[in-house]
Amino acid sequence: MRFLTAGESHGPQLTAIIEGLPAHLELTADAINRELKRRQGGYGRGRRMKIESDQVQILSGVRHGQTTGAPVTLVVQNKDWKNWQDIMGPDPIDASQEVKKQVTRPRPGHADLNGAIKYGHRDMRNVLERSSARETTIRVALGAVAKQLLSQFGIEIAGRVVEIGGVKDEQEYASSVKDIQSITEASPVRCMDKEIEQKMIAAIDEAKKNGDSLGGVVEVIVTGVPVGLGSHVHFDRKLDARIAMAVTSINAFKGVEFGIGFRAAEKPGSQVHDEIIWSEDKGYTRKTNRLGGFEGGMTTGMPIVVRGVMKPIPTLYKPLQSVDIETKEPFSASIERSDNCAVPAASVVCESVVAWEIAQAMMEKFPSDRIEEMKEAFEKYQEWAMNF
Ligand SMILES: Cc1cc2nc3c(=O)[nH]c(=O)nc-3n(C[C@H](O)[C@H](O)[C@H](O)COP(=O)(O)O)c2cc1C
Ligand SMILES: C=C(O[C@@H]1CC(C(=O)O)=C[C@@H](OP(=O)(O)O)[C@H]1O)C(=O)O
C-alpha cells in the first residue's frame, strides 16, 4: 500500500492517491471529516484555521461506502484559494505584470532559504507553499483511512500532548485508548491533566504576547497490535524505524522515541528490558512495556508507545536575524499571520502518520485483495501466535 500527495498551501486543493487498499473496506467521508476537524482544533492556532473548514471529497476507488480495490483519490479544497488565485494561478504572466506578494525574506527555521537556493527560486513563495504544514491536512485524511482499516482488527490509536514549552504532564501513558481519547477531545491542548492544561494555555498566551512561539512533545499509543509486524531482517522493514521516519517527516518534528526512549541511557539493562511471561488466556506478553512495543524492529504485541518532539513554530513576530535575498540587507521580521503553537494539532497528525505505517505493515503481513480474506489470515495468525 502506498500514497502520493500533492497541493500547495494557498493553491486550490490538496490531493492524495492511495494504491493497494483491499476491497470491501467501509469508508465514508464522514469518518475522514471527523479526523480533519480534530486536526483543525487546538489552542494556539492562527487566523487561517478560521478560514478553513476541511472536508474531504472521495473521488475514486469507493462505491456505496466501500472500497473497490481501485486507487482511492482524496481531495480537500483550500477555502483560502479564492484570496490567492491571482498570486497562485498556473497561467503564465507577461513581463508587464508584477508578481504579487513575492517572498524575498527567508524565515530562520523554515524551508525558505534552502529551498530557494536548491531550486533556484528568487520568489521563495515557490518553496513555502509546499513546505507549509497545510500538507498535514491530507496526511490526516490518509491516517483516517488507515484507522478505518485498523479498526477492522481491533487496533486502536490515540494521541495526547505531554509537554508544551517546558510545561510537562509527567503521568505515564494510559493503556486504554478510550481514556486518552475522551480526555484529550475535551481539552483545548489535548492534555490529560486539567491543571497542567491551564499551565500550558498560560504558556502559549505568554509566548504569543512576547511575539514568540512554542513547541512540545506529543505521545501516540496503539493497542491491539499483533506480535510480529515489521521485521528484523532488513533495515527498511523495521517498523520502529519506519515510524520514526514518518514522525520526523511531520513539519517541525525533530525527534522521536519509543517507550522510555532517551531515558534508557540512564538505566541498567535490568530496568529497561521487559520480562517475558506466558499465560493460557494471553499467550506470551511482557511484565512491563518500557520498550514501547518494539524489539528487533518488530511489534511485541504490547501497546506501541511513541513520542515526537516538535520545535517551536519558525514564523515569529519577534524579529530574528535574517537577510533579504534581493538587497542582502538585514531585516526585522514582519509577518501577516501564523500559528504560535501547533503542538495540539500536531498530535492528531502524529496519530495519523503512525496509523498509516501500522496499516501498511498489516497489509504486508496479511496481504490480500479483500478485507474478509485479510481478516481470516489475521485470525489464523493470532491463534498460531497464542499456541506457539
Ligand atoms: C500543524 C502544524 C502547523 C504549523 N503551522 C506553522 C505556522 O503557522 N507557521 C510556521 O512558520 N510554521 C508552522 N509549522 C511548522 C513549519 O511547517 C515547519 O517548521 C517548516 O515546514 C520547516 O520544516 P522543519 O521545521 O521540519 O525543518 C507548522 C507545523 C505543523 C505540524
Ligand atoms: C494552513 C495550515 O497551517 C499553516 C501552516 C504554515 C506553515 O508554514 O507550516 C503556515 C500557516 O499558513 P498561512 O500562512 O496560510 O496562515 C498555517 O496556517 C493548516 O494547518 O491547515
pLDDT range class, residue 336, cuts 50, 70, 90: low
Q: How far is the CA of 276 from the centre of ligand 1 (A)?
A: 41
CB distance 337 to ligand 2 below 6 Å: yes
Alpha carbon nearest to ligand 2 atom 15, residue: 48
CB distance 248 to ligand 1 below 6 Å: no
What is the C-alpha separation between 334 and 228, in angstroms, rounded?
51
Cell 519509543, located at residue: 258
pLDDT range class, residue 64, cuts 50, 70, 90: very high
CB distance 48 to ligand 2 below 6 Å: yes
> Could you tell which of 51, 125, 134 is best to mutate to test the pocket of ligand 2, judged by most ligand atoms within 8 Å of the CB?
134
Q: How far is CA 261 from CA 157, 219, 256, 286, in A?
A: 19, 12, 8, 17
Average pLDDT, the chain: 95
Residue among 220, 154, 260 nearest 357 (CA): 220
Q: How far is the CA of 20 from the centre of ligand 2 (A)?
A: 30
Task: Tell whether 307 is in a known binding site.
Answer: no
Q: How far is the CA of 369 from the centre of ligand 1 (A)?
A: 37
Alpha carbon nearest to ligand 2 atom 1, residue: 134
Torsion of CA 174, 176, 178, 182, to 10 degrees: -20
Which stretch of 33-42, 177-186, 284-293, 304-313 has the lowest confidence by average pLDDT?
177-186
Q: How far is the CA of 386 from the centre of ligand 1 (A)?
A: 44
pLDDT range class, residue 179, cuts 50, 70, 90: confident
What is the C-alpha separation between 32 and 50, in angstroms, rounded?
20
CB distance 302 to ligand 1 below 6 Å: no
In order of start, what are the domains of the chain with their CATH numbers?
2-386 (3.60.150.10)
CB distance 133 to ligand 2 below 6 Å: yes
Atom of ligand 1 nearest to the CA of 250: 31
Task: Tell whether 251 is in a known binding site.
Answer: yes
Q: Is the pTM of this model over 0.90?
A: yes
CB 333 within 8 A of CB 319: yes
Q: What is the pLDDT of residue 203?
A: 98
Task: Tell whether 296 is in a known binding site.
Answer: yes
Q: Which long-range contacts (CB under 8 A, 24 or more apart) does 292-297 make?
A: 292/257, 292/258, 292/259, 292/260, 292/261, 293/222, 293/225, 293/258, 293/259, 294/230, 294/239, 294/240, 294/258, 294/259, 296/232, 296/238, 297/230, 297/231, 297/232, 297/237, 297/238, 297/239, 297/240, 297/241
pLDDT range class, residue 223, cuts 50, 70, 90: very high
DSSP 3-state percent helix, strand, coil across the chain (nearest 5): 40, 20, 40
Assess whether pLDDT exceeds 80 at residue 98.
no
- If you count them, how many residues does the chain have? 388
Task: Tell whether 132 is in a known binding site.
Answer: yes
What is the C-alpha separation between 47 and 41, in angstroms, rounded?
12
Q: Quickly list H helices, 63-217.
A: 85-88, 112-119, 125-131, 136-151, 177-186, 194-209
What are the tens digits of pLDDT across the range 112-150? 999 999 999 999 999 999 999 999 999 999 999 999 999
Please tell me whether the interface predicted TM-score (ipTM) of this complex is above 0.85.
Answer: yes
Q: How far is the CA of 48 from the centre of ligand 2 (A)?
A: 7
Is 231 buried (19+), middle (13-18) or exposed (0-12) by CB count in 10 A?
A: middle
Can you tell me the mean pLDDT for 300-314?
Answer: 97
What is the C-alpha separation between 153 and 254, in angstroms, rounded?
31
Q: How far is the CA of 383 from the centre of ligand 2 (A)?
A: 47
What is the C-alpha separation between 317 and 314, in angstroms, rounded?
10
Atom of ligand 2 nearest to the CA of 345: 20
What is the C-alpha separation between 137 and 351, in angstroms, rounded?
13
